[in-house]
Amino acid sequence: MEWDRKIEEMLEEIQEIKMVSPDWVRNQLVVRLIDGLFAADDRLFAADDRLFAADDRVLYICFAKYRLDNVTSYVVEAIELNSVLSSLVSCLPNKNCSIMPNKLQLQHSTKNKLQLKQVASKSGKDLPAHVGCGVFGSKVLFAGGVKGGLDPEVDEYRPCPCRQIFEFETDRTMNPNRSIKLQAQIFRGRKAQPLLQEIEGKLYALGTYQLSFHASPYFEVFDPQEAKWSPLPDPPVFLRFNTREVCHSPQQYCFTIAGTNIIMSCVGEPVYCFDVADPINKVWRVLPGIPSDDLNFQGRALAVDYGEGDFVIFCYGSLRAPNAIPVYLLPKGYSELKVVKPMQLPTGLLPPEFVVSPANSRFIHLGGRTVCLLLSRFMGPFSCYYMADIMKISVRALIFEFKVSKDRRSVDFEFLYSRILECDGNWQSQDSEAMTIYGEILTSDVELVGAFVM
């Protein structure tokens, strides 16, 4: 009876306080209570990373590095998710704990910095730039991309999309050397910066913009049972591009994945949707009632199912909403796209290079109502914030929770934490034949191409 009373008291306290931890952490708390692993309040709510011990997932962050000697590198850095979320545990609610950490303390705390570990890399002058990055099973993929060379279609030198796919197997038992390898399978069509998404055991690839005519198929699916890529219908806007009716820049496209639906649009075009789970209607359809002008973002957005097939969409990178995350509600059936109040980023926690213009970004759904926004900016010789003798990639992780209102007309946010992720190693390399400063190669840019929790 005493233990039942203690459980009841603890559950009441959890319900009364708005917790900053994800839903799965709350479940672990209850399990620990029942198992009797914590005997008193002070032990239950202690700043103890053991609360995350059951989650052995790893955060992988993927970069493409470009040097002035035309060498491209694919780099995979990693960190245990426990480390990123441990700060949330240290602020689990009790009578003596503040729910919202002091912003000034967060900004200057050395505990706020975490070291990433480089787990794999591959370099070469033959590697394409501007690759797509995705996950298939336990593999991280670098696919497609762009190379400079002779385009046989026009018999002139120009950027040409590519078809090859490189893979990094994260399972150590299958890849003990931690290498990035070229796959035997290649795309049927050439793809610049393709969108890669695993859906129901199959891998889908969609070119996100065009650099050459007649590069179809832009849209393909890989079935591991058949071990081959098969073409799918191209989006209508790509078909018009092949007839030279339209030509959009990469910055004008936007994409998201909502369940089994791939949604895309671009400036001046309708919003198109392709349901990969529909066995009959294998076509791109126009979503009614959604003006393309309402899509206030570029690149890829994150769609999170918040119940019964309704999605909330988070975006970043819009010049119309600087230092903010535009938010949309997409109800089941996709009949309308509701624009809601955007989430303002805590600019006081961000260095100046992140505030002036949109940085490279990737969203990660951590589970439940918890989302992480990763921002990166390369500090190099062509950066406005370049300092002599310093070249680095700056990464910030912003973790927040969201809650959709009961009438489904608005979304509330609570910013939880900010983390500084420091990349492993020097982002310069030695090579006497390349353009250098003080004997070091100049890296022209470093691009965040993917981030995944596995």
Band the pLDDT of 180: cuts 50, 70, 90: very high
Q: Is the pLDDT of residue 425 over 70?
A: no
Band the pLDDT of 10: cuts 50, 70, 90: low
The pLDDT > 70 percentage for the chain reads 66
Q: Is the pLDDT of residue 47 over 80?
A: no
Tell me what the pLDDT averaged over the chain comes to. Answer: 77
Give whole-number Cα distances, 10 to 22, 87, 104, 434, in Å: 17, 22, 31, 63
Q: Is the pLDDT of residue 50 over 90?
A: no
Which range among 186-200, 380-394, 417-431 shows the weakest confidence by mean pLDDT? 380-394
The 10 Å Cβ neighbour count of residue 87 is: 22
Measured between alpha carbons, how far is 66 from 88 in angstroms, rounded to an integer?
A: 35
User: What's the confidence (pLDDT) of residue 413?
Assistant: 92
DSSP single-letter state for residue 83: H
pTM: 0.81
Which range among 4-13, 119-128, 203-212, 280-289 shows the weakest confidence by mean pLDDT? 4-13
Band the pLDDT of 410: cuts 50, 70, 90: very high
Rank 49-53, 92-96, 207-211, 312-316 by mean pLDDT and report only the highest: 312-316
User: What's the confidence (pLDDT) of residue 210?
Assistant: 66
User: What's the confidence (pLDDT) of residue 176?
Assistant: 94
Per-residue pLDDT averaged across 22-44, rounded? Answer: 42
Q: Is the pLDDT of residue 362 over 90?
A: yes
User: What's the confidence (pLDDT) of residue 298?
Assistant: 73
Per-residue pLDDT averaged across 274-299, rounded? Answer: 80
Sheet holding 302-307, edge to edge: 302-307, 310-314, 324-330, 338-344
Q: Is the pLDDT of residue 74 over 90?
A: yes
Question: pLDDT higher for 34 or 396?
Answer: 396
Band the pLDDT of 281: cuts 50, 70, 90: confident
Q: Say which amino acid occupies 167.
A: E
The structure tokens listed for 398 are 């912003």
Question: pLDDT higher for 354 or 369?
Answer: 369
Band the pLDDT of 118: cuts 50, 70, 90: very high
Per-residue pLDDT averaged across 188-194, rounded? Answer: 90
Residues 242-273 pLDDT 10s: 554 445 555 567 899 999 999 988 777 788 89
User: What's the confidence (pLDDT) of residue 9?
Assistant: 62
Taken in order of first residue, the domains within the chain and their CATH numbers are: 55-84+105-453 (2.120.10.80)
User: What's the confidence (pLDDT) of residue 167?
Assistant: 98
Token match 């005519």: residue? 213
132 close to 448: Cβ distance less than 8 angstroms: no
Per-residue pLDDT averaged across 25-39, rounded? Answer: 43
User: What's the confidence (pLDDT) of residue 86?
Assistant: 74
The structure tokens listed for 243 are 């007839």
Band the pLDDT of 62: cuts 50, 70, 90: very high
The pLDDT > 90 percentage for the chain reads 39
Per-residue pLDDT averaged across 339-367, rounded? Answer: 81
Measured between alpha carbons, how far is 189 from 427 in angstroms, rounded to an integer?
A: 33
Measured between alpha carbons, how far is 334 from 87 in angstroms, rounded to an integer?
A: 37
Per-residue pLDDT averaged across 288-307, rounded? Answer: 79
User: What's the confidence (pLDDT) of residue 8?
Assistant: 62
Q: Is the pLDDT of residue 77 over 50?
A: yes
User: What's the confidence (pLDDT) of residue 44?
Assistant: 35
Per-residue pLDDT averaged across 111-124, rounded? Answer: 89
Per-residue pLDDT averaged across 148-158, rounded? Answer: 67
Q: Say which amino acid occupies 103.
A: K
Question: pLDDT higher for 54 or 425?
Answer: 425
Question: pLDDT higher for 444 or 118?
Answer: 118
User: What's the confidence (pLDDT) of residue 253?
Assistant: 79
User: What's the confidence (pLDDT) of residue 364?
Assistant: 97
Measured between alpha carbons, how far is 454 from 451 in angstroms, rounded to an integer?
A: 10
Q: Which helix (H) or strand (E) holds 151?
A: strand 146-151
Q: Say which amino acid occupies 369.
A: R
Long-range contact list for 288-297, CB < 8 A, 24+ apart? 288/335, 289/335, 289/336, 289/337, 290/334, 290/336, 290/337, 292/265, 292/266, 292/267, 292/268, 294/328, 294/337, 294/339, 295/254, 295/265, 295/271, 295/337, 296/320, 296/321, 296/326, 296/339, 297/254, 297/326
Centroid of chain to Cα 363: 4
Per-residue pLDDT averaged across 337-343, rounded? Answer: 87
User: What's the confidence (pLDDT) of residue 70?
Assistant: 86
Question: pLDDT higher for 297 or 370?
Answer: 370
